[in-house]
Structure 1
Amino acid sequence: MALKAISKHLLRHILFSIVCFMITGFSYSQTQNFSVKGIVRNTIGEPMANVNIKIKGTPSGTQTDSNGRYRIEINRREVLLFSHIGYENLEKLVEAETQDLNIQMEIGTTELDEVVLEKKKSHSQKSMLENYMLNPNLIKTRLGIIDKDRMSYPIQIIQGSDLITAGPDFLYSLKSFYPRMEVVREDGHVKVFLQKLSYSEPKNAAIFDVDGIIQETAPTYLHANDIERIAVLVRGAAAARYGPQGSQGVIIVNTKGQAKIDDMGVDRRYNNETLKDSLISAVNTVSMYRNTLPNVICGFERADSKDMAIELYQLKIAENVDNPYYFLESSRYFYDKWGDLDIATEILGRVETDFSKNLPVLRAVAFYYEEFNAYKRAISAYCKVLRLQPKMAQSYRDLVNCYAEIGNYRVAVYYYVRYKNMLKVLPENEVESLGADYPFEMEVEKIMSKWKGLNINNHVKSVSSDNQVRRLVLEWNVSKIDLTFQFKNDLGGYDDWSNFDNPEMNKNGYLYQDFFFDVETGGKWIVNIKNLKNNTFSPFIYIKATSYNNYGLPNQTKNEKVFRFGEDVDNVQLFIIDI
């Protein structure tokens, strides 16, 4: 009986061990990692490159190569999710016997609704920040949070959870969402190209806005797991928000780390001067610009009539015959004080003739002509500048824009073509040394649209007269100056721009910079000269500001104002732009 009891006990133990082994083996077989490979094709059987392949419920994944092939390590009973822009997402359950898994993607059937632009109520930055984690259509940029649903221009937002953790960095996965994107990796440097300009091959890569910090180099230190949200802006959308710097496209990256900080209630303003956000109130006191009479025309304030002013002007001509600034400021005086355009332009004509070899003076003359709305006279002055500087892009740009102002688009485009032809005959080393032309290219595109009668928004049914682009152009009449503009808005945004930090523009002789403001974020912007250092022998520096509403559209309007500075200045407020 004892032996029989032992045998029964032993038998139960053996059976229990077998069951445990089977359960363990079964469990192991369920979780054992193995490889699945295959080819992904489109509806006509062609291999598809850059298809996103993700293990559902995990960040792991891969992409197809240029031949549509892929290989991925996966556990049995897991689901593969195949996705590509323009195609329906496809899910496949991986069974135990699966080794080769070929996929055919079906074209997406999403219908595009007619776009209707409506006047929208403003949303505060504070409320959008509070809703950021709940609203996947919000993206944080250097100058504020924008809502995809409220933008009049196209913007593509990708959630970080949709990126796959494959490849050297997040760009590997991003390419599947923006197939036209080209990533160039050479000598440890990474550049991203999103598009080409209409008139030239792209010389500049896309820029990155990472948590409000502008970067010209790709942030390859980031991986897919680090990213909360990404947005891609191209062409007009990028230029509208980032100006010419963004003309080759902008990739906006919101990281998970910063999203967590913001969600904790930390007060942060999104701009590219983040270290100064908490110090804005400590910025040096800014004085207002005052257009007082310069010493060169002292005594004119005594004139109590225009006739007396003319007499005072004529009395001092002989002693100032070699001083162009006496005539420049006399012209301005008669225009501002007495509203006499004829006398003002007559005096400027004398300056243009008597000082026809003086580049800074000729540009100052043209600035005043433009402010006086005398564009045909400005063309005359700019033609003299072109003869003195026939290799400088700025010389052609000035004529292109002046001819466009008087509606002569054919001649405007002629000067642009002439500039391009000039580049063709220059030695190769001279052309390579020139700087970026993309702001000029953008202006010419707008002029071409007007000349051909094109309405770039003719597919959009607009029910509002409001448009979304506000452009500010700041120009100066001499090259050898150190100049820093400062921008501050009532939402706490803060930005600086310096001409000596932009060598690409300086190389080509450009003496201007433009800035774009997104009306969706609203607010008021204060424009200051933070620093101006005159490194020339000219006693005066002239700065022309041109503000455009509805830039590039049929209902475009603009205002021009010329500012004069007779010495080095710091922290001077020029004007306020009400967006």
Structure 2
Amino acid sequence: MKHFLPVFLFLLLGHVHSQETIKTIKGTISDGQDPLRDVNITVKDTDRVVSTDASGKYEIDTHEGETLVYSHIGKETLEILVEDVTTFLNVTLRDKIQELDEVVVTKRYHKTQKELYGEYNGNKNLIKTIYGILDISKMPFRAQIIDGDDINLSAVDILTVLRAKIPNVFIPNNTAGRNDTPVFFPRGGSAPVLWEVDGMLMRSAPTFIDIQSIDRMAIIQGLGALVKYGSPAAGGLIVINTKVANFSREPGTNLPYDQAKLRNNFFEKGDAMGSENLAVPMYVQMLHATVDWNEAKESYFQLEKIYGQSPYFYLDARSYFQKEYKDKAMVKMITNNIEANYSNNPIILKALAYQLDEERNYGASLELYKKIFILRPHYQQSYHDLAHAYKNSGKIERAALLYARHQFLLREGLFNKSETFSDILDRDFNNLLVQEGEVLSREKVFFTSDEDDFSGTRLVFEWNDSEAEFELQFVNNNKRYYTFKHTSFDNENHFKDGKQNRFSCQEYLIYDPNGTWQVNVNYLGNKSLTPTYIKATVYYDYGKPYQRHESKVFKLRVKNSNQELFKVQTGDMLTAR
């Protein structure tokens, strides 16, 4: 069949994008353990170059659309495309590996995250962080663990505890009673200490914490924390695990983890931790600790005074009131707050749109995707997102026109064809035409439709931050698995394809969906200290007249831990952890 489409409809959307604003990119470069000095950071195809200092820190001016090249003797060279929201890039460079013949691995020296979670209660050298559990005794830098049992419970607050435990710690006297008190280590220079409390990062001391709730603290002075946390931790780091968040349980029960299970190693690569084993931010714990709606609402307004500078506080709070109380008034208020304060941040707007998709509030998510399209008309992902939003809102003709517009831009060379994303968009367009052909025919709009022989369950993953790196593991009913690696080192061409063609999407097709499939994720970070949101849309009976779908949203925060996301069962909707 042929296309019949008035030419003027192609002109409804512009495709001109220019960004001349200078962007200053900052960050820290390491080898995964120690900061790297003398790393060259070059703006590709220019003579602009800087080098990292002794702390691995750098700062360079560039523009959106340019590429930064990170190079160092003995390390793999890494290229990163600068985007509209790029401000911090904390990079890990890997060693150049020369393969050797007949190498036999006889012993594993590093324990897995699941083993460390099991040992947490009995090993006081372990601390839970957004990077997973760290064994302080194995770290290549000086660190100190303070056990909760060693804290004087008569201490007024966390500042009193620090004065007693850390010699010469500096706390400004004029900040007593305030929620924005900075803390400075003796050798931290002018930079304040970075705090992590149950996975929540903050610049000011968490004076709101009940001293009796502290399970243990890790104190990292000097430059040790720069390796993982980057320049925000230049003044040092304090990690606090509370008793509420760190009760390691036997899977599926409320009983403590059975330490005896660690005597024999039966851990298999396909195993994954459930969400109940992952620490959550303090404010989430406090919201869940409330007993009714009135107390939850009062707690929210108190927590907002402390965490109100973080968009992730609002996203988490919105999710809480939606899922726990379906409180339309509170949810609407928080939604409006996010839209007003982060109207120019497509990453935050997209996370919010994901939540609305999960709730099937397609009218509201459509308005957000329109705003994101205006911010990012040069992103191919914007066409995918807005077309889907139109389809979900019942605006079939507009969805079809947007898909056709994208095909036109490809033919005219204004977009490049992607080995991955073009196939996803083609499948979406063909599916729309098959499912909604009658509607389009009534509107007298006609398009071509290619044959799609796929029939089964289709999984589509989208993520809000294109710098995110992760591994998706698909485990079938026979416990055999496939791992898709979305990383700049293990899947370089695919990662570059996504960056250069401006998309953050991947599909997985299950041709024989009999039994139960499990999907796990190992989150590897996004070169900053912020979480990543991933939306999984599952299409059941794909391509058939009774095709149906649902979406689930997951906040990826804990790194280097294989975590269970959800299960898909034949004939049933997905179940999520």
> How does the TM-score come out when normalised to structure 1?
0.46
> How does the TM-score come out when normalised to structure 2?
0.46
Greater gyration radius:
1
